[in-house]
Structure 1
């Protein structure tokens, strides 16, 4: 009767080493592929797409679709400004330098949903369709 020092036949030790080497090789290849792919391409941030002094709106969540900007120079302070007829916003960015209240109602009626957003804020997904805004002086 023969006994082996490691308690396993040579063929089993070879298969075990081969499996370990193959696993390390696959792991290294996947890590290298991920490293070479680099980080995911980021879309331009809404702040960069929204000019200074403007409140920008997008028709889709996640800042998707063609943006429109409401410039502070054309928007009255503390006055309800309705978005263009037929235009509804699902995401927006405030780059006005002032707090902005966003209203679901096109006439800024507070019976519908509304929220005030500080300057520099970005909202990729509004909880309601925005139809009007009011820019505050403070």
Structure 2
């Protein structure tokens, strides 16, 4: 409903006789053809008067653009996804691609080197900012029968993993 009203406001022409909403101002007659030289607004002793000036059109266009920008900014915002921020010394995973969705962070202090760590959720993007290499597994048991890949440390970002990651294993530096 709000968008329909805003659309009708933006698509109406603004006239000197009519208000912004298109209603007639009191005391002003409505003529069918304001462009004709016989129209009372345009008739003058020394020639027709210019109704629209460039600055008036520019102001109207600016106001319409401003309203459209505000509606776009306020009405079409998308809820923010999980923060893609991952600190140095952390291995981070996200449930969605492009570092979106639920996130999980692992560090050397909270994870044992050489042991299989089950993530507890399916992850589709990751960032390795550890000093250690990390192997990611499709199998939750870190089995090598399913897909697995090792990513080097110190700044590896993978926005879309080649398979769904269910477990990880940290390797000694």
Which of residues 165, 169, 173 is equivalent to 1:130? 165
**Which ranges of 4 or more aligned residues in structure 1 deviate by more than 4 Å?**
none
Q: Distance in 1 between matches of 2:172 and 2:116?
A: 13
Q: Distance in 1 between matches of 2:131 and 2:123?
A: 20
**Larger RCO: Structure 1 or Structure 2 (Cα < 8 Å, ≥ 6 residues apart)?**
1
Which of residues 113, 116, 133 is equivalent to 2:147? 113
- Partner residue of 1:72? 108
Q: Distance in 1 between matches of 2:172 and 2:107?
A: 15
For residue 123 of structure 2, give the secondary structure of its aligned residue in structure 1. Answer: coil
Largest Rg, 1 or 2: 2
CA drift at 1:124: 0.4
Show structure 1 runs of 5+ residues with no match.
Answer: 1-44
CA drift at 1:70: 1.3
CA drift at 1:50: 0.9
Q: Distance in 1 between matches of 2:116 and 2:138?
A: 12
1:87-112 Cα distance to aligned partner (Å, 9 max, x none)? 11000000111100000001100000
CA drift at 1:61: 0.7
1:99 matches 2:130: no
In terms of fraction of residues, the more helix-rich structure is 1
CA drift at 1:117: 0.2
- Partner residue of 2:123? 89
Aligned residues: 91
CA drift at 1:66: 2.7
1:59 matches 2:95: yes
- Which TM-score applies when normalising by structure 2? 0.50
Q: Distance in 2 between matches of 1:91 and 1:72?
A: 20
